[in-house]
Structure 1
Amino acid sequence: MDCADEVAAIERVLKPLAGVREVRANLMGGTVTVAHEASVSEGQLIEAIARAGLKASGIASGGSSRPADAQRSRLIAVGLSGAFTGLGLVLQWSRLGPPALPLGAFGIAIIAGGWFIFPKAVAAARRFSPDMNLLMTVAVVGAVAIGEWSEGAAVTFLFAVAEVLEAFSVARARRAIQSLMQLSPETAWLKQGDSFKEVPVGEVKVGDLVAVKSGSRVPLDGEVIAGASAINQAPITGESMPVEKKVGDTVFAGTINGEGSLEVRVTKLSTDTTLAKIIHLVEEAQSQKAPSQRFVDVFARYYTPAVMLLALLVLLVPPLLFGGTWAVWTYRALVLLVIACPCALVIATPVAIVSGLTALARRGVLIKGGALLEAIGKLRALAVDKTGTITEGRPRVTKVSPMNGRPEAELVRIAAAIDIHSTHPLAQAVVDYARQKGIEAPRGENYQGKTGRGAEAELEGHHYFVGNHRFTHELAVCSEAVEQKLAEIEADAQSVVVVGHKPHADCPGEVLGILAVGDTIRPNAASAIQALHAAGVQKVVMLSGDNQRTVDAIARQAGIDEAHGDLLPDQKISRVQVLLAQHRYVGMIGDGVNDAPAMAAASVGIAMGAAGTDTAIETADMALMQDDLSQVAEAIRLGRRTVRVIQANIGFALGVKAIFLVLALTGHTSLWLAILADTGATLVVIANALRLLRANSGPANVSGEDPHL
């Protein structure tokens, strides 16, 4: 497939087949995916596609077509068409030989250039679905019918050249996608006993041990069990500097090992690696049409028949009603048919979208579809979570403040006994602190998590709780002394974990002590926020479940416009909805799990640090493969640039059409000039779209890949 008309033709012939449930034709991938009943065979599908004037082969069966040979044959045919068109013009101008000689040359040129166009035109006529192949064929036949053989040959040759150049341009965009697929090696050195054997990656199972030699690519996702080395993770995360890996660290398929040698325990099959998920998402993203592409598709659907009707009126009305010359108005009608070809209009948007998606994927930013790429380019406000987004997300206990005479060890023991049930960063910080201090904590019984507040459990027959400031008020155990201590901790931009005895039966309950937990701000947080403002984001708002004083302090350090603390998940959604009402296009950055409701409410949900995190990759609209907030600004800039390129392409294509429609009606253009203009417009918009592949080529270049692919 080389153009959108062919995609539409495939869908028209496959969807009516009995037993076919869904058809997805991927122009940039050059594939068609069909969901069908077991009664439908692969042969039936291939035969149906042939009725659309195209050839197909099954991927599962290994494929039988040879695209390189087909392209070579097409080039030879176009070359012959050009040669015989030139020969015919020379014979016609020089008047050498009989009059039939130049006509014969033009006839050969038409046949050579049209052998891969005319079958598609016949198929379109049978379907009563006019496309550009049918328009060109009618124009050529009409030119021959009125004796304009040279014009017919020129139109055929120039249109064939346009088709070949368009195919090359689409192939370039395809190669950019395929370059992602080539990152993962096909074999791995599998440990068998005391030796290693090179086997296909598909034969390696989860739990197997593989060796990664220095300078080679990691074959599969896994955990380092022996050795240490610096790994270039640019193909996955876009990081510009290699990352040191040691025993216990995670490595990703497709990344490049440095000088060291590693032994890795495989954690994912070749079909489930992070790289495989990235490739799948990029391929799937292309099938999700952007709003501008949907507009163009609808426009082209009505535009082509409308211009054909106009051409028919131009052919009939002047001669029948105003005594015009049939030959003159027939020629002008044929020029209109050539101008009606919407190729430049329909090809520019998908090429721009896939170029933008691929450029970002090569830099560790995954976006799930052209519609989202356009939405990212339109973002005017951004809501950000605090922990793990603005801060490092690795909090640690910095101070323990017992109250009412409780020993510090007992306070930490109670807190850890409850928090050992939770995966929340603050809870994990408490458990880690207990381990560091050598304090053994049993698992609390009857544990209950309180979303946005804390948790509670029973320990040795007593009811205890851990939680935030809000929770102490809800339990009615807060006092002036507690308020004063909380204010001191929160003023230092630290989070609080209040540990207490929960009120129950005749027991009034009490606060036993407070743990101060600190989380350092990311070094590049302030510069990332500045970059977001520079990229056109008008407002950045922090939404956090942490206390307001801490949130305010972090926001001041990072340069964030607004900060809202003490928020429950549903309150975060409300804040996002307020931003949507004010700015229309709003992004929400979180971890892809805890902030999923707010991310879903936003125009674009963005997950930080998604490398190796399946849930984050699957739930977010946009996934940052590394913990780098500055990637959001880069994505917004490229999204805006993509939107501008699409708008420029559509405007240019429509402008060229409008100019030549007027010229055709007034008789100031010719068939060959019209097709030359259409060809030129197509090549201009494709070249403009492919420029997006060169965008921000810094980080990805360290992988040794050509950033301009």
Structure 2
Amino acid sequence: MTHTCCACTGCACHAHHGEEKTFWAAYRGLAAAAALFIAALFMGKWPWVQLAFCVVSWGIAGREVVFHALRGLVKGDFLDENFLMTLATVGAFCLGEYPEAAAVMLFYQIGEAFQERAAGNSRRSIRALLALRPAFARVWRGETWQKVAPEDVKVGEVIAVYPGERVPLDGTVTDGAAFADTSALTGESVPKRLETGDTALGGFVCKDGKLTLQVARVYGQSATAKVLELVEHAAGKKARAEKFISRFARWYTPLVVAGAVLVAVVPPLLVPDATFKTWVSRALVFLVVSCPCALVLSVPLGFFGGIGGAAKNGILIKGGNFVEALARLKILAADKTGTLTKGVFKVTAVAPLSCTAPELLEICALAEAASNHPVAAALRVAYGKPVEPARVKDVREIAGKGVSAQVDGQTVLVGKAAFLLESGISIPPQAAGSVFCAQDGKYIGSVTVSDEIKADATRAVQALKKEGIEKVVMLTGDNAAAAEPVAKALQVDGFRADLLPAQKVAEVERLQQQTAGTVAFVGDGINDAPVLARADVGIAMGALGSDAAVEAADVVLMTDEPLKIAQAVALARFTLKVVRQNIVFALAVKAAILALGAGGAATLWEAVFADVGVSVVAVLNAIRPLKYQPKEK
């Protein structure tokens, strides 16, 4: 990642624009400059010798700063911190303050070296997190195993993964069994058991056995590639705080230079006994302490650290703007099936009206024979017999409503109560259930299909309330009979049932009008793509490997744990807290030293230590989100 400074095009901390020099290479030059500077301190009796030592020390420490200042001057874009440092130190030399001039440049560069080291460690941590890119794939070709680039492997080919190796591409296990380390993708430390028929995703590490896989996706569509692309491009989307710093820096440096000129010129002209030497010295203090590097580097680095820290915990956030939106979250709307519940349905009650329970199940299972909806699968399981396709004709599935089919020559409708009512079929007031059935225009009974609540769903709702979320609501396409028990068990603040995708969008828009904060929607990322896109923050749950989820959502949770929603909010708020700390700390210290410098109470020594100290502290603070660990896992 390359940091760019909007106030300067060539500041020392960004001088290499992505080509990171090593800390020790910088250290050797600074060590030589420091040795000469220390020697100069003992040469006070010989001013010309001291001047020579200080000039050489200044030249070694500040050669890059001076170079970029001169280059900016030639290009006409010189109002940056390189110019500030060069102007301040040259001015100090002109005033005869030789050690101070060398000290300003030397300690400034020492601070920059430590900043680069801290920023480099942050980038290396992200790269270590992103060490998912496989070096090779072992593919069966020509009656032998061949090592090839993962990008060259095609769908359907067979690959082998040995113990200790990383799975290179998404695929289905065709032979072997092993425990897999999934932490790089999901943030989970507990290994996952993979056996024949299971899906293994690129990025998993095979721990204790050999696996043979049939490739399901080319490398560019694999889970590994998606994670790499998301995290590598996340920093390009700036948060409001980053945009503020960019705008601030563009105005800040010219104002500082103008202020320094006024400090140097106005008092000697207006105040009796004021000398130019005194006020020029104070103006130099003004220039040194005003360098904006602490803000320009630490604020983007803070958001970058937050994105990296989230990725370590299996949460992919697509940009700093979404970190900030999560931090301002006030209302969370959640889908039910597959988000708060497991999405594994089973028939818990059968209420026939004009037939027997087995007959009702048989009719429902036949009508739903071709559907891949989880409720349809539960009905077929409850029926318990093979479905005879010849008995079913003219099947028509209406998304979000139900199924119409000819079963044994009779017209059958199976679905929501509203679906039957729209078809002119009356339902007895006492009828209850989640699936209603009619045959040849007459209601014949209902079936209740229940879904199990996820183990951590209740804790997730409680954790969100602790984070200050004002309202957690459930929006579901299921009927009220199925939704109400789940809503009560989870103690959410409300629910709406029987919602089509467009109605979910309308509900989210209504919630957005109720708060000055942001509204998030969490769903499976496939059926809920419209509402994920409409919410201030769209969160895809358990979306590992889902193209639709990655495309539609702003935040992607790699596992299906609702508790990760609360973890994402907590991390976002921690990140924003760190960014604000840096802004307030840097501006407060600089304002104090500027005031002291203008009053003559601070010298160049205090100015440089204040500037370097603020920069180092701000950068070290900025990388804290990268190490963030959720309080509850």
* TM-score higher than 0.5: yes
With over 3 angstroms needed to count, the CA separation of the structure-2 counterparts of 1:520 and 1:618, relative to structure 1, is same
1:386 Cα shift?
0.8
Q: Deviations over 1:295-316 (max 9, x none)?
A: 1111121111111111111121
Amino acid across the alignment from 1:348: S
Q: Kindly report which structure 2 residues correspond to 1:540-551, keeping only aligned pairs within 5 A, or say none.
A: 540-551=472-483
Equivalent-residue separation in structure 1 for 2:3 and 2:461 (angstroms) = 41
With over 3 angstroms needed to count, the CA separation of the structure-2 counterparts of 1:8 and 1:392, relative to structure 1, is farther
2:270 aligned to which of 294, 308, 321:
321
With over 3 angstroms needed to count, the CA separation of the structure-2 counterparts of 1:318 and 1:698, relative to structure 1, is closer
Aligned to 1:79: 31
Q: Kindly report which structure 2 residues correspond to 1:249-268, keeping only aligned pairs within 5 A, or say none.
A: 249-268=198-217
Report whether the alignment pairs 1:216 with 2:173: no
Aligned to 1:309: 258
* Contact 1:5/1:132 (<8 A) preserved: no
* Contact 1:351/1:690 (<8 A) preserved: yes
1:525 Cα shift?
1.6
1:428 Cα shift?
3.8
Aligned to 1:511: 443
Report whether the alignment pairs 1:298 with 2:247: yes
Bigger mean CA offset, 77-86 vs 622-631:
77-86
Equivalent-residue separation in structure 1 for 2:231 and 2:322 (angstroms) = 12
Aligned to 2:50: 102
Equivalent-residue separation in structure 2 for 1:343 and 1:416 (angstroms) = 69
1:317 Cα shift?
1.1
* Contact 2:93/2:101 (<8 A) preserved: yes
* Contact 1:339/1:678 (<8 A) preserved: yes
Report SS of the residue matched to 2:165: coil
* Contact 1:406/1:512 (<8 A) preserved: no
Report SS of the residue matched to 1:477: coil
Equivalent-residue separation in structure 2 for 1:601 and 1:138 (angstroms) = 51
Bigger mean CA offset, 259-268 vs 402-411:
402-411
Equivalent-residue separation in structure 2 for 1:444 and 1:109 (angstroms) = 90
With over 3 angstroms needed to count, the CA separation of the structure-2 counterparts of 1:425 and 1:283, relative to structure 1, is same
1:120 aligned to which of 59, 63, 68:
68
Q: Structure 1 length as normaliser, TM-score?
A: 0.83
Amino acid across the alignment from 2:431: K
1:387 aligned to which of 326, 337, 341:
337
The count of aligned residue pairs is 630
Amino acid across the alignment from 2:470: Q
Aligned to 1:160: 109
Aligned to 2:596: 663
* Contact 2:483/2:495 (<8 A) preserved: yes
Between the aligned residues of both structures, percent identity stands at 36
Q: Kindly report which structure 2 residues correspond to 1:412-561, keeping only aligned pairs within 5 A, or say none.
A: 412=362, 415-418=365-368, 420=370, 422-431=371-380, 436-442=384-390, 448-457=396-405, 463-480=411-428, 483-486=429-432, 489=433, 496-501=434-439, 509-561=441-493
Report SS of the residue matched to 2:104: helix
1:362 Cα shift?
1.1
2:505 aligned to which of 573, 589, 593:
573
1:391 Cα shift?
1.0
* Contact 1:183/1:235 (<8 A) preserved: yes
Report whether the alignment pairs 1:352 with 2:352: no
Aligned to 1:633: 566
Aligned to 1:340: 290
Equivalent-residue separation in structure 1 for 2:612 and 2:589 (angstroms) = 11
1:146 Cα shift?
2.0
Report SS of the residue matched to 1:366: strand
Q: Deviations over 1:508-566 (max 9, x none)?
A: x2224433322111122212211221222222111112121321111111222212212
1:275 aligned to which of 204, 224, 227:
224
Structure 1 unpaired stretches of 5+:
13-26, 31-52, 57-64, 490-495, 503-508, 701-709
Equivalent-residue separation in structure 1 for 2:597 and 2:2 (angstroms) = 28
Report SS of the residue matched to 2:437: strand
With over 3 angstroms needed to count, the CA separation of the structure-2 counterparts of 1:2 and 1:314, relative to structure 1, is farther
* Contact 1:335/1:670 (<8 A) preserved: yes
Report SS of the residue matched to 1:387: coil
* Contact 1:419/1:430 (<8 A) preserved: no
With over 3 angstroms needed to count, the CA separation of the structure-2 counterparts of 1:272 and 1:545, relative to structure 1, is closer
Equivalent-residue separation in structure 1 for 2:518 and 2:186 (angstroms) = 26
Aligned to 1:59: none
Equivalent-residue separation in structure 1 for 2:287 and 2:149 (angstroms) = 54
Report SS of the residue matched to 1:198: strand
Equivalent-residue separation in structure 2 for 1:387 and 1:417 (angstroms) = 22
Amino acid across the alignment from 1:342: P
Equivalent-residue separation in structure 2 for 1:146 and 1:7 (angstroms) = 28
1:595 Cα shift?
1.7
1:411 Cα shift?
5.8
With over 3 angstroms needed to count, the CA separation of the structure-2 counterparts of 1:315 and 1:120, relative to structure 1, is same
Cα RMSD for the two superposed structures: 2.7
Equivalent-residue separation in structure 2 for 1:290 and 1:208 (angstroms) = 43
* Contact 2:6/2:250 (<8 A) preserved: no
Q: Deviations over 1:551-608 (max 9, x none)?
A: 1111111222212212222322232223222233221111112122222232211111
Report whether the alignment pairs 1:688 with 2:621: yes
Report SS of the residue matched to 2:624: helix
1:621 Cα shift?
0.9
With over 3 angstroms needed to count, the CA separation of the structure-2 counterparts of 1:699 and 1:576, relative to structure 1, is closer
Report SS of the residue matched to 1:9: coil
Aligned to 1:592: 525
Report whether the alignment pairs 1:651 with 2:565: no
Amino acid across the alignment from 2:132: L
Report SS of the residue matched to 1:455: strand
1:101 Cα shift?
1.1
1:602 aligned to which of 516, 535, 544:
535
Q: Kindly report which structure 2 residues correspond to 1:33-72, keeping only aligned pairs within 5 A, or say none.
A: 54=16, 67-68=20-21, 72=24
Aligned to 1:9: 9
Equivalent-residue separation in structure 1 for 2:400 and 2:158 (angstroms) = 42
Equivalent-residue separation in structure 2 for 1:413 and 1:548 (angstroms) = 24
1:674 aligned to which of 607, 611, 616:
607
* Contact 1:315/1:332 (<8 A) preserved: yes
Structure 2 unpaired stretches of 5+:
none
Aligned to 2:557: 624
Q: Deviations over 1:90-145 (max 9, x none)?
A: 212xx2xx432111110111110111111211222223341111111111111122
Amino acid across the alignment from 2:90: V
Report SS of the residue matched to 1:351: helix
Report whether the alignment pairs 1:131 with 2:80: yes
1:635 Cα shift?
1.0
Amino acid across the alignment from 2:502: D
Aligned to 1:233: 182
